[in-house]
Amino acid sequence: MLQFIEELLIGFGNAAWGTPLLVLLVGGGLFFLIYSRLLPYRYLGHAWDILRGKYDKPDEEGDISHYEALSTALAATVGLGNISGVAVAMTMGGPGALFWMWLSALIGVATKFFTCSLAIMYRGKDSLGETQGGPMYVITEGLGKKWKPLAVFFCIAGLFGPLPAFQANQLTQTIRDMLLLPNGIPESFMSKLLTGLAITAVVSLVIFGGIKRIGKVAGKLVPSMVAIYVLAVLYIIFTNLPAVPGCFALIFEDAFTGKAVLGGAVGAIILAGVRRAAFSNEAGIGTAPLAHGAAKTNEPIREGLIAMLGPIIDTILVCTMTALAIIITGSWDAKGLAFTGEGTWRDYEVESRVRIQDAHTQAGLTGRLTDAHNYYEFIIDNKGESAAVLNKVLKGQPLELARVPYPIEAGQNYQLTLSFAGDSIKAALNGQTVASVRDDSFTSGFAGLKARHGSVDFGAFRLSSGGQLLAGYDFSKSEQKAAWRFGYEANYWSVVPAEEETEEAGFLQFSASNGISITLNAFSLAIPGAGPYILLLCILIFSFTTMFSMSYYGAKCWSFLAGAQNKHVYNFFYVGSIILASVASLDAVIGLIDGMYAMMAIPTMVSALLLAPKVRQATVDYFKRLNS
């Protein structure tokens, strides 16, 4: 029963971020873009003047300044997604995914303008008589009380959507991988608990001070975090300046051809880029209007102009910085090569159990490996039309010797065998020979495992010759990793020993589905020594500022449902989830959070689309007064 609920919640989270939501967000954004006649885009300079405080009036209604409102909204959007999410989008959709992220961000500018203008235009009063703004007040004040169920739906989703489980879990893992383990501190329940408690203490100091304290802290940290991150990436760019034109050429070429990863599946690239942009800049989700609704202003259009800078900073600037670092260093094309044995071995048979965990992934065996760029490989490939493929890799370029269509499903075990006898090469899948060729390009070499993108588990590795076992690994102990050599990045590989309470055998795991590890690899390659620590500092600031702002969103939804006098209750629930996320595996909980976060978009976009004429009317009036 519990397993069924877990699968249901994970399925809900995945389905919620599917095509219908993206159609609502992107389609709605296109409508706003056309309906506004590009008017907001013409006044980016004016938006900058507003941000600088040129039009600030301290006596106007609201709690925080324009600058603090934008900082609070950016604190939530500029987070781990900008570091890890971009990397995942590129490993799954190739460099071309970045182009579609840019396009989605430009559409998101129009969405932010409309939704955040409405947040000021239709502010309401909470149970304590304080002025509040956000999609729930836009619905009740703008559409009328009969629409209140839609506002309640938004708030219920808003209780769970902003919970920091993902940020806390990823931050705990990052501290473990980059700080604790390298310094000899082993992972344990106690180390994770202490990390979680430390994170909770820092977050609590800020969020229990309310929106004014959150705004002030965000106002100081957000410029610093963006500046540190951008400076680090600019260093990577300028030290690799000749490679930059090629990076942009690859982005534009891959956006329309899909050759880099998906073999021409342009639709999948578009989906990867659009989904990441929607999740990154949150245009249309409804979180930004909650922050901008607290701004001190009586001019709705001014706040809309400030809000539309968000996607530009978040996606056009920060996400592009991440992408360029990853493309310049080649980390987007995450590959793993692990090998063992002797370089003089000639005729032998290598076999292993292979389990691909993600889509768009290649994995299998290598043989007669002379170096990281020359060898034979037998791989299973589930990107595009899945197949079993026997290749000769010559100077790093795979030359296909045989390809057999074969249904490869994520999560399933496949037994692969690759054997050599003179110039005869045979490949078998689940005991059935699928390829038999002759080639004498390589006559001897190491044997091993290979993976590209995603996450792959390799188990029960056997290397034999003439019936004699030359090498065998059951991966029952983490120390067995020391027996292997690695052709690319050893950081992607780890031994996962068998657990006594389960029947699952141990395995050697390749994991490039964690975007942080990909970005970390890029910083390590480009800035040896200091790179990982610079990234760790950015991750710490990004994570904390996100957790500061997200608490305000959930508390505001709780206040609408249970009364503003009880809003502090939500903060205890919020910080409790940080501790839980630090020590537990939360696939089901994160599935629920992702799903609820997506559900917040439905009331936000529906109300904004219905009230769009009011924004357009106010926009024309504002700019007429401004230019008179």
Domain ranges for the chain: 2-332+521-627, 337-511
Residues 350-355 have a mean pLDDT of 92
Q: What is the pLDDT of residue 624?
A: 82
The pLDDT of residue 426? 94
For residues 135-151, average pLDDT = 91
Average pLDDT on 419-441 reads 93
Model confidence at 501: pLDDT above 50:
no
Q: Is the pLDDT of residue 63 over 60?
A: no
Distances from the Cα of 288 to the Cα of 56, 68, 89, 353, 553, angstroms: 20, 12, 23, 47, 9
Residue pair 425/436 in contact by the 8 Å Cβ criterion: yes
How far is Cα 5 from Cα 7, in angstroms, rounded to an integer?
A: 5
Task: Give the pLDDT confidence score for residue 420 in this predicted structure.
Answer: 95
**What pLDDT was estimated at residue 613?**
93
Q: Work out the percent of the chain whose per-residue pLDDT is above 90.
A: 15
Say if residue 595's pLDDT is above 70.
yes
**pLDDT for res 607:** 93
pLDDT score of 265 more than 60 = no
Answer whether residue 619 shows pLDDT above 90.
Answer: no
Query: Which CATH number among 2.60.120.560, 3.30.470.30, 2.30.30.760, 1.10.645.10 corresponds to the domain 337-511?
Result: 2.60.120.560
Pick from 66-70, 120-124, 358-362, 407-411: least confident: 66-70
Q: Does 337-511 match 2-332+521-627 at the fold level? A: no
Higher-confidence residue of 489 and 453: namely 453
pTM: 0.74
Q: Residues 153-169: pLDDT tens digits? A: 999 998 888 888 777 77
User: Per-residue pLDDT tens for 69-110?
Assistant: 666 656 556 666 677 777 777 766 677 778 887 888 888 888
Across the chain, mean pLDDT equals 79
What's the CA gap between 395 and 392, in Å, rounded? Answer: 10
Residue 512 has pLDDT above 70, yes or no: no
Q: Which residue has the higher pLDDT, 454 or 462?
A: 462
Residue 214 pLDDT > 70? no
The yes-or-no verdict on residue 44 having pLDDT over 60 is yes
Q: What is the pLDDT at residue 83?
A: 76
Residues 565/570/572/578 CA torsion (nearest 10 deg)? -160
Ramachandran region, residue 546 (left: φ > 0; alpha: ψ -120 to 50; beta: rest): alpha
Cβ contact 19:274 at 8 Å: no
Q: Would you say residue 391 has pLDDT above 90?
A: yes
Kindly state the tokens that stand for 473: 């690994």
pLDDT at 524 exceeding the cut of 50: yes
Q: For residue 586, is pLDDT > 60?
A: no
CATH of 2-332+521-627, one of 3.30.70, 2.30.29, 1.20.1740, 3.10.450: 1.20.1740
Q: Are 579 and 200 in contact (CB under 8 A)?
A: yes
Per-residue model confidence (pLDDT) at position 401 = 93
Residue 430's pLDDT is 92
Task: Look up residue 51 and give its amino acid.
Answer: L
Q: Which residues pair with 393 in a beta bridge?
A: 375, 398
The arithmetic mean of pLDDT across residues 493-514, rounded, is 64
